[in-house]
Amino acid sequence: MTFVAIFVPYTSNKINIVLLYKEVSYTHTSFDGDKEMTTQPILLAETEIARLRNEVGRQSLMGKTIEENRKKVDAFMRLPLDVPGHGEAGGYEHNRHKQNYTHMNLAGHLFLITQEQKYAQFVKDLLAIYAEKYLTFNYHLQKNTNPTGRLFHQILNEHCWLMFSSLAYSCVASTMTETERTAVVEQLFEPMLQMFTVKYSHDFDRIHNHGIWAVAAVGICGLAINKREYLEMSVYGLDNNNTGGFLAQISQLFAPSGYYMEGPYYHRYAVHPLCLFAEVVHRHMSEVDIFNYKDGVIGNTVQALLSTAYPNGEFPALNDASRTMAITDTGVQIAVSLYSKHYGLNDNILGMAKIQDAVWMHPCGLVLSNAYEKATAEHEISLPFWPGVELNEGPDGRSGAQGFIRMQDKTGDVSQLVMNYGQHGMGHGHFDTLGITFYNRGQEVLREYGFCRWVNAEPKFGGRYLEENKSFARQTIAHNAITIDEQCQNGFDVERADSVHGLPHFFKVESSEIKGMSAFANDHYPNTGMQRSVFMLNIEELESPLLLDLYRIQATGVHQYDYAHNYDGQIVCTNFNYQSFSELSPLGEDFGYQHLWKVASGKAQEAAMVTWLQNHAYHTWLGTSSNNHNAIIFTRTGANDPNFNLRSEPAFILRSEGESTLFASVLETHGYFNEEFEQSVNARGQVKNIRILGYNAVGSIVEIITAKSLVTVMVSNLPGANDHTPHQVELNGKTYHWNGFYSLEVYALEQEK
Amino acid sequence: MTFVAIFVPYTSNKINIVLLYKEVSYTHTSFDGDKEMTTQPILLAETEIARLRNEVGRQSLMGKTIEENRKKVDAFMRLPLDVPGHGEAGGYEHNRHKQNYTHMNLAGHLFLITQEQKYAQFVKDLLAIYAEKYLTFNYHLQKNTNPTGRLFHQILNEHCWLMFSSLAYSCVASTMTETERTAVVEQLFEPMLQMFTVKYSHDFDRIHNHGIWAVAAVGICGLAINKREYLEMSVYGLDNNNTGGFLAQISQLFAPSGYYMEGPYYHRYAVHPLCLFAEVVHRHMSEVDIFNYKDGVIGNTVQALLSTAYPNGEFPALNDASRTMAITDTGVQIAVSLYSKHYGLNDNILGMAKIQDAVWMHPCGLVLSNAYEKATAEHEISLPFWPGVELNEGPDGRSGAQGFIRMQDKTGDVSQLVMNYGQHGMGHGHFDTLGITFYNRGQEVLREYGFCRWVNAEPKFGGRYLEENKSFARQTIAHNAITIDEQCQNGFDVERADSVHGLPHFFKVESSEIKGMSAFANDHYPNTGMQRSVFMLNIEELESPLLLDLYRIQATGVHQYDYAHNYDGQIVCTNFNYQSFSELSPLGEDFGYQHLWKVASGKAQEAAMVTWLQNHAYHTWLGTSSNNHNAIIFTRTGANDPNFNLRSEPAFILRSEGESTLFASVLETHGYFNEEFEQSVNARGQVKNIRILGYNAVGSIVEIITAKSLVTVMVSNLPGANDHTPHQVELNGKTYHWNGFYSLEVYALEQEK
């Protein structure tokens, strides 16, 4: 690799690199011989700053962003400066250092944009205190496997600190005296660089989402102090042999689809330094052609991340994740702005900007802001409606996938169905292969619990993961999946889980009448094959897309199956009798069951119906299995929870026992309830029944009866089938046949008068 | 009473009453001899209609209201017309009739404003179907004590139907043929009038909130069909002797303060016909001078209703009430608009209009819309900040009161404290005398459960009150009060409860440092005196007003006291150990206790501390009693709930046993948590302790220790005290004395370095 050859700045003398570019006048670190050097803003050129300045006071997204950032920084600047010593993770000290770097970065850029000296002064004053104190702080005591820093209990946070503070420094360095700069460089930045690249060299540029923060911090700081060698080792790795560094990371961290195996929550965290550093590399190492690198892996992975989001911008809480992390996260704001500039705009990007109501305070953000302004003048911006997408997993895309299907109802409301049939998410992985979530009318209907953690809430175990994250949130029973014999998938063994993955069967979203996906998971319970096929059906008389779910299990011997549905809201009615218990006991003893109160249960004749009300929407679920003995169990989290670490949330489980078994259910969203205005319409659903006509190794056949229609769905159970494979199933002397993965037939029923 | 003498229209021939007024050209029913008559719009004159028309398409509140109403009516008009037969309360038929009259009323007025014939046609077509069918419907079967109608299961709803449909008719009658009018009048309106005033005459004009609907409907319909005698009997009563009718109702239904004893939820329901009919009387019976009647009782009671609302516009759920009923209710919109026109505007009215984001589609609403437009151009409209108010109860204002105290923090956020020391609310009354609620940062912190009912949700018992409304929601233990010996106040005997009331001690809101109220309730438990004194304190180092609560009980013999706190959210930490139970059982057997799961409990040494997180805010409660043995019990609703009729909500109880006892607690709101942005600040409060120094029949003395201050509060326990009464209390050889109801002393503590 011969990257040095085209690297110009080091060889130029007093010639600003600006002159070498035509379209955009990038400012760059320049040299005055070998002695004097003035650090220039790393992310902004003079002409770009001027263009941002024009937005001040305007009602554009950029104008609003600048104003919001001013308010934030002004409020923070009213507090006394503080560089505290060691504290608890999530405690005051931890948060203060985070606030310090966040506000320094904003203030540095606001100084450039507004030309108000107070912002520069704030950065310089705070950096001076850090420079004075930094080396007086010892390293934190090691508490877990992460190396510790002098400011933070883990160097990940110290990486973040360095990245943002270096950017801030680059904005104000030209206004500092030589003495001031020297103090910051020698007592703060260089010791940090030393720590990251020498003391903790083993951990520096590895292929991990945390590694991106490390290389971005080191590369950016290197530029800020005119030590370009740090940029180079960040981009190409310490050993410069493709085993580490930014280029290796972005080549290897993501699947070909762009999906990141830990899930969107961690992906959006990685995307922050990823996009920032990509922009830096673009500006300061143009020879890499970073935005086209590896077929545009940066744009690809940003697109993959965005395409997972629910219609309101929240990310499905796959693996360890909060339920509220959304595209409004700062890192995703940067990603959306960067994507707009370097990969192009479309209606979904504009829709996301609408949700974000802000842009990156950078020329990339200005591109989006301008486009948004123009589009708004022409028409109302809609919320995003991303097409369905199957995101493959693994280095070659062959380790299963995550499926995301969307369908709009007549009012434009988007239903989204998510199924996990990919990899286990390593240490943050949940044991929920074939788990689904379902979203419509602005809320998750079949819900993920998310992680068990209150991030940064110091009295809640320092904001760290709580014990119940393992004992409940990651267990199979906490998810919308089937738990067999009250055991967790892969016995809650991370290593075993990481070694297997789901097997995609089909993913089809072309039709406007039916969209569906199906996958197998044969390595998650001993000697057990599982297949889940989920669909959204567009049926004329229904208000919203109907969720159809076929969950097939091929086991040896008789087992207990718990088909769990995590909902929220109030039970409205059922079609079966149940017994509410006068005393509550936990549903089981281990694998998450110990945390579920058994609240009520009943026996189901044929299809069991449960209607509940979640805020403004009614939902009716009808479910059955091919076994005779079905029971419905209503549960609520909270048992064995000595520190109130669990949220109290309801679920219902269809429990069945059998050998090979097919579960089938539908979920209808209907009606409207408004407590404030005391309105209620269509509190009862239109779907009357679901029946399993039969199933075997070739296919499964179910019938749904609505008030107006008889709907028959036949689904392929044949691994290796394709769009044309003929299927034939004999049931009670009747032969059903179809070609391809599934067949949908809708008959209008005679209406009673 | 000689009201006929000044009644002009009957005696005028072809002279439109319009001519008799100067300022506003009211249109009025006019006669052509004895034969021909053309009904004119009851609520609008031609020139007023023209002024409303000018608002179409504008962004004023009126313009937006018209547009919203158009959308609603247009959407409804796309459905086929339907006049269904009998159905369940809350079912389709019930709702459809409601929707029919609501949309007819809007359409009638939209026809006048927009001059679009389709709106008139809709009203005429629908009225024609009603006229055709009405007499073919039998009376509903009687299911409770309410008389039944032909459309609805209770005539209350039929009154509503008639009132709105008559208004609609008055807007379009001039476009109808004689035949069409005759059908509506003879087959629909007259039979209804007959039913209400003859068949159900015993129930017609009684002093009850439902009675206002009855007289408004009959009076307005009388005008619409030119039978003014119905207006007269509505205003003066069937017997014209001050025992019934509108004037008697408004004279007797409300306390001198304007408070309505059933509480804001039922008050806002009554205020709808109250305001509509008042405006009608103003226009068509000017001799009554309705808006000045009885010292302006209409304005007084509207003002009283509005002054109960929380800062976000929601009404405290006193007695049977939903937690979400708010000033956005249509009736309250009319009330706010009417108040603006006839009683004047102020910043709080404008603030309420901001929450409502709409006005009454009437000249009264135009006054408000215009004022709002003018004010908005000058400054940003703030949310309302009503002054503290004590609303007395009973015909002479001597049956206790409801207290509402508000205090703003430095950011402008309003904390509101509500205490009930008035009357029992009759059949809808809750047994919660001395109960409190507390609100800040946009949410109720110490919460009312509200009623147990899903209004209009047909599968939930037809939307009617559920069994658990009696067995839980109305019981003392469901409220933020003290329950003695696991019994309900007044043994859940409505009649007994209606015969007693709280005794106000003081209500003082002048100081910016401390605002408080205190009251006795000596007739609610046998041989037991109770006094509750609640304050909001403005203490420099605290972010929000501190709630201080002293609850004193004077009993004979030893009793068990449960001092309950209904909160929402997640427990963050406590200062005592507690045991979470591995099996749950109900906390008790009756009086609401059977519905509470006993989740965890612990013993409290000195003051018990509980910190919880509710959405974005942390709350820390510290409580103690003058007894030695205090226990904290954590509960959750849901036990003995066979139909999932209860919401699952948490509470904690400080339980103590003793004879005469003082409970003291503080509640601090602090910090900020944002899960989406992973921010947490000040998760721990500043208040460290609360101690009871002592108490006796003269006074109670407590000490609050914060991180920076020692706060001493001394409170009068002397009934009959006044602002100057000297108080002296000896405790452990020390003498405390103060004058008046209470004393507040704040000492700065030495700060540790």
In chain B, residues with a C-beta closer than 8 Å to the C-beta of A571 are: 643-644
pLDDT at A512: 96
Which letter, b or e, does each residue of B669-707 get, where b requires 16 or more Cβ atoms within 10 Å of its Cβ?
Answer: bbbebebeebbbbebbbbbebbbbbbbeebbbbbebbbe
- Determine, yes or no, domain membership for A21: no
Angstroms from A676 CA to nearest CA on chain B:
5
Q: Is the pTM of this model over 0.95?
A: no
Please indicate, yes or no, whether residues A220 and A268 belong to a single structural domain of this protein: no
The band of A24, judged by pLDDT with boundaries at 50, 70 and 90, is very low
A680 at interface of B, judged by CB pairs closer than 8 A: yes
B683 at interface of A, judged by CB pairs closer than 8 A: yes
Q: CA–CA separation, B33 vs B16, rounded Å?
A: 12
pLDDT at B701: 98
Q: Which of A328, A460, A640 sits opposite B572 (nearest CB)?
A: A460
CA angle B709, B713, B718 (to 5 degrees): 180
Q: CA–CA separation, A277 vs A51, rounded Å?
A: 22
**How many CB atoms are located within 10 Å of the residue A383 CB?**
18
Q: What share of chain B is helix, strand, coil (3-state, %, to 5)?
A: 35, 25, 40
Contact B675 A324 (CB under 8 A): yes
Residue where one domain finishes, among candidates B385, B400, B423: B385
Helix (H, G, I), strand (E, B) or coil at B579: strand
Q: Which CATH number does the domain housing residue A315 bear? A: 1.50.10.100
Q: Mean pLDDT over residues A527-547, rounded?
A: 97
Q: Which of B325, B571, B644 sits opposite A676 (nearest CB)?
A: B325
- Determine, yes or no, domain membership for A106: yes
Please indicate, yes or no, whether residues B554 and B618 belong to a single structural domain of this protein: yes
Residues of chain B short of pLDDT 50, as ranges, are 1-36, 753
Please indicate, yes or no, whether residues B192 and B320 belong to a single structural domain of this protein: no
| Least trusted range by pLDDT, from A139-148, A455-464, B299-308 | A139-148
Angstroms from B647 CA to nearest CA on chain A:
7
Binding-face residues of A in 86-125 toward B, CB within 8 A? 90, 95
Angstroms from A358 CA to nearest CA on chain B:
15
B313 at interface of A, judged by CB pairs closer than 8 A: no
Q: CA–CA separation, B65 vs B357, rounded Å?
A: 8
**Residue B382 — φ and ψ, nearest 5°?**
-85, 160
Torsion of CA A86, A89, A95, A96, to 10 degrees: 0
Q: Would you say how long chain A is, in residues?
A: 753
pLDDT at A37: 60
Please indicate, yes or no, whether residues A445 and A458 belong to a single structural domain of this protein: yes
Q: Mean pLDDT over residues A463-467, rounded?
A: 94
Please indicate, yes or no, whether residues A715 and A655 belong to a single structural domain of this protein: yes
Confidence check: pLDDT of A458 > 50: yes
One-letter identity of residue B560? Q
- Determine, yes or no, domain membership for A331: yes
- Determine, yes or no, domain membership for A137: yes
Angstroms from B571 CA to nearest CA on chain A:
6
Please indicate, yes or no, whether residues A108 and A222 belong to a single structural domain of this protein: yes
Angstroms from A111 CA to nearest CA on chain B:
25
Give the residue with greater pLDDT, B30 vs A126: A126
CA-nearest of A262, A288, A729 to A451 is: A262
The band of A303, judged by pLDDT with boundaries at 50, 70 and 90, is very high
Q: CA–CA separation, B364 vs B342, rounded Å?
A: 8
What sign does the dihedral A26-A32-A35-A38 (CA atoms) show? Answer: negative
B640 at interface of A, judged by CB pairs closer than 8 A: yes
Please indicate, yes or no, whether residues A148 and A274 belong to a single structural domain of this protein: no
Contact A652, A633 (CB under 8 A): yes
Angstroms from A572 CA to nearest CA on chain B:
6
Please indicate, yes or no, whether residues B259 and B190 belong to a single structural domain of this protein: no
Please indicate, yes or no, whether residues B94 and B162 belong to a single structural domain of this protein: yes
pLDDT at B145: 73
Contact A482, A663 (CB under 8 A): yes
Give the residue with greater pLDDT, B643 vs A678: B643
Residue where one domain finishes, among candidates A214, A243, A272: A243
B286 at interface of A, judged by CB pairs closer than 8 A: no
- Determine, yes or no, domain membership for B10: no
Q: Give the domain range for residue B500.
A: 389-748
Q: For residue B394, give the DSSP letter.
A: S
Edge to edge, the sheet with strand A482-484 lists: A482-484, A559-566, A650-658, A630-637, A596-604, A579-580
pLDDT digits (tens, 9 = 90+) for A686-698: 999 999 999 999 9
Please indicate, yes or no, whether residues A737 and A593 belong to a single structural domain of this protein: yes
- Determine, yes or no, domain membership for A753: no
Residue where one domain finishes, among candidates B188, B222, B253: B253
pLDDT digits (tens, 9 = 90+) for B38-92: 789 999 999 999 999 999 999 999 999 999 999 999 999 999 999 999 887 677 8
What sign does the dihedral A174-A179-A181-A182 (CA atoms) show? Answer: positive
**How many CB atoms are located within 10 Å of the residue A136 CB?**
9
Binding-face residues of A in 589-618 toward B, CB within 8 A? 597, 599-600, 611, 613
Q: CA–CA separation, A489 vs A502, rounded Å?
A: 12
**How many CB atoms are located within 10 Å of the residue B592 CB?**
27
A495 at interface of B, judged by CB pairs closer than 8 A: no
Q: Within 13 Å of residue A58, how many CA atoms lie on the same side as its CB?
A: 15
Confidence check: pLDDT of A75 > 50: yes
Helix (H, G, I), strand (E, B) or coil at A605: coil
In chain A, the number of structural domains is 3
Q: CA–CA separation, A665 vs A654, rounded Å?
A: 10
* Percentage of chain A lying above the pLDDT 90 cut: 88
One-letter identity of residue A721? A
Confidence check: pLDDT of A13 > 50: no
Task: Write down the residue that tokens 């009866």 correspond to.
Answer: A705
Please indicate, yes or no, whether residues A207 and A297 belong to a single structural domain of this protein: no
pLDDT at B751: 65
pLDDT at A629: 85
Q: Which CATH number does the domain housing residue A637 bear? A: 2.70.98.70
Contact A679 B456 (CB under 8 A): yes
- Determine, yes or no, domain membership for A29: no
Q: For residue A311, give the DSSP letter.
A: T
- Determine, yes or no, domain membership for B27: no
Rg (CA), chain A: 28
Q: Which of A456, A643, A680 sits opposite B679 (nearest CB)?
A: A456
Please indicate, yes or no, whether residues A625 and A490 belong to a single structural domain of this protein: yes
CA-nearest of A707, A580, A680 to A633 is: A580
Confidence check: pLDDT of A1 > 90: no
pLDDT at A145: 73
